[in-house]
């Protein structure tokens, strides 16, 4: 178990290169199950979640070759279709194996992903759509058993625009019989990146990025090369860090069109943003204005940046409300921030934040991936000594060498073994 130690007070200065998007890499790696031969993916981040998915797929017989930021994948010699609980419980996104396994092999046995710190995380919409496509499913001992002779194209409406639900059904539909129309789907950039990868493999997909995706089933797909999009949540985390520390940082390699909602809120809070040829230049304001935020599916404000933005509001001038509409329990970071002097009151899915002059260093505990990031950000500005963030294995799931990147920007931060 490692902890992160931060001595706050340094304004961040310089340039930082963001990595490939975790939430694009995971479904795209799973999509390599759909076609035999060597796929080659570029800009694949070195993250715990990527390693977990590789571990599960290796057990199924998939071969991997790492070459720096490139990852080569070959699923020609698949020998199993069982994703075990011991691995799935550490990463519920493993559910994205269900669609490709059914499309390629007609069967899958995947541990039902449990909930996690931020919510129950049901997969009922995934299963409802698959059953409409002709998949027979039954649950036993916590596992989803699924079987389908041939998936058939259908017209499916999603009650909620689920990101991995949309991804799972896209992958199930690309070789289904006939046409599939997916309505009220998620519109996140990671959905479009998966669609691009599937098109490189020969799939016929239109409408990704809108609320309706139409897929014509094809008989087979081929291995492909693909570059993963930049991680908009890592980019946003650095932008907020620059704003909080009143620094000046250029976030290189990020995609401004993926960050519209955050950019609008940061500018309303007084942050100066300039689009540069390489990315976005962020200048922190002397006075951080209090602004309200409500998380919604893309293109709205991302739930994955809610904890980080709340930390910014903790040192703003005035009152702000943070409303979380995507997950039912995504305020776990609040109690830890309050231990650092933040003034926050929770009322249902709404947090009322009263900005304070400053936060104070303290030992705190990470509980989920993005909450960990918000505590690191708080440590970067906390006064009065060292902030220690414990259980940062949560952080390593979604951020690659975060302390090294912050150190390169002038932060006093290091990792210690506990």
- Number of helices (H), then strands (E), in the chain: 14, 24
Q: Which is nearer to ligand EPZ, 144 or 288 (CB)?
A: 144
Quote the least distance from Cβ 115 to ligand EPZ, whole Å: 9
Q: Give Cβ neighbours of residue 10 (< 8 Å, ≥ 6 apart).
A: 245, 380, 410, 411, 412
Q: Contact, 268 vs 287, CB < 8 A?
A: no
What distance in Å separates the CA atoms of residue 153 and residue 214, rounded to the nearest whole number? 10
What distance in Å separates the CA atoms of residue 403 and residue 274, rounded to the nearest whole number? 25
Quote the least distance from Cβ 319 to ligand EPZ, whole Å: 26
Q: Which is nearer to ligand EPZ, 24 or 365 (CB)?
A: 24
Q: Contact, 126 vs 185, CB < 8 A?
A: no
What distance in Å separates the CA atoms of residue 156 and residue 125, rounded to the nearest whole number? 10
What distance in Å separates the CA atoms of residue 227 and residue 44, rounded to the nearest whole number? 8
Q: Which is nearer to ligand EPZ, 127 or 344 (CB)?
A: 127
The CB density around residue 386, as the number of other CB atoms within 10 Å, is 16
Quote the least distance from Cβ 21 to ligand EPZ, whole Å: 9
Quote the least distance from Cβ 365 to ligand EPZ, whole Å: 17
Instruction: Tell me which H or E stretch contains 39.
Output: strand 38-42
Quote the least distance from Cβ 93 to ligand EPZ, whole Å: 4
Q: Which is nearer to ligand EPZ, 26 or 83 (CB)?
A: 26
Residues near ligand EPZ (CB under 6 A) are 22-23, 26, 93, 119, 121-126, 160, 162-165, 186, 303-304, 326-327, 369-370, 398
**Is 314 a known active-site residue?**
no
What distance in Å separates the CA atoms of residue 370 and residue 390, rounded to the nearest whole number? 14
Quote the least distance from Cβ 258 to ligand EPZ, whole Å: 13
Q: Which is nearer to ligand EPZ, 36 or 328 (CB)?
A: 328
What distance in Å separates the CA atoms of residue 186 and residue 189, rounded to the nearest whole number? 9
Q: Contact, 353 vs 313, CB < 8 A?
A: yes
β 13-17/248-252 pair status: parallel
* Helix/strand/coil percentages in the chain, nearest 5: 35, 30, 35
Q: Which is nearer to ligand EPZ, 36 or 51 (CB)?
A: 51
Q: Which is nearer to ligand EPZ, 25 or 340 (CB)?
A: 25
Name the residue among 84, 91, 39, 43 with its Cα closest to residue 62.
39
Quote the least distance from Cβ 159 to ligand EPZ, whole Å: 8
Which listed residue (32, 116, 254, 255) is catalytic?
116
Q: Contact, 293 vs 306, CB < 8 A?
A: yes
Give the residue numbers annotated as catalytic, written as ranges: 116
């Amino acid at each position: 178990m490692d902890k992160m130690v931060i001595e706050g007070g340094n304004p961040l200065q310089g340039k930082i290169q963001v990595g490939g998007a975790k939430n694009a890499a995971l479904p795209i790696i799973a999509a390599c199950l759909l076609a035999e031969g060597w796929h080659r993916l570029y800009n694949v981040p070195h993250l715990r979640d990527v390693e977990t998915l590789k571990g599960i797929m290796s057990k199924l017989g998939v071969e991997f070759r790492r070459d720096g930021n490139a990852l080569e994948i070959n699923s020609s010699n698949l020998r199993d279709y069982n994703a075990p609980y011991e691995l799935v419980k550490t990463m519920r996104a493993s559910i994205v194996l269900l669609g490709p396994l059914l499309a390629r092999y007609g069967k899958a046995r995947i541990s039902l992903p449990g909930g996690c710190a931020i919510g129950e995380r049901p997969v009922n919409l995934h299963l409802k759509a698959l059953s409409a496509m002709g998949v027979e499913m039954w649950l036993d001992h916590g596992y989803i058993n699924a079987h389908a002779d041939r998936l058939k194209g259908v017209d499916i409406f999603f009650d909620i625009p689920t990101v991995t639900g949309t991804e799972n059904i896209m992958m199930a539909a690309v070789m289904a019989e006939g046409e599939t129309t997916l309505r009220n789907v998620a519109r996140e950039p990671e959905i479009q990146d998966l669609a691009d990868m599937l098109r490189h493999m020969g799939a016929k997909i239109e409408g990704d990025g809108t609320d309706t995706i139409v897929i014509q089933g094809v008989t087979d797909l081929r291995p492909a090369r693909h570059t993963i999009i930049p991680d908009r949540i890592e980019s946003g985390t650095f932008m907020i860090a620059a704003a909080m520390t009143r620094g000046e940082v250029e976030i290189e390699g990020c995609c401004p069109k993926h960050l519209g909602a955050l950019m609008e809120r940061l500018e309303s809070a007084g942050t100066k943003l300039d689009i540069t040829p390489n990315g976005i230049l962020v200048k922190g304001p002397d006075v951080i204005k209090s602004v309200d935020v409500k998380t919604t599916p893309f293109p709205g404000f991302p739930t994955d940046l809610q904890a980080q933005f709340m930390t910014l509001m903790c040192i703003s001038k005035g009152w702000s409300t943070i409303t979380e509409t995507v997950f039912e329990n995504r305020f776990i970071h609040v109690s830890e921030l309050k231990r650092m002097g933040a003034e926050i009151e929770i009322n249902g899915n709404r947090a009322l934040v009263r900005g304070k002059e400053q936060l104070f260093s303290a030992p705190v505990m990470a509980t989920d991936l993005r909450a960990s990031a918000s505590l690191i950000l708080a440590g970067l500005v906390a006064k009065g000594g060292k902030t220690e963030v414990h259980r940062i294995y949560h952080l390593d799931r979604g951020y690659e060498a975060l302390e090294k990147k912050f150190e390169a920007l002038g932060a006093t931060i290091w990792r210690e073994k506990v």
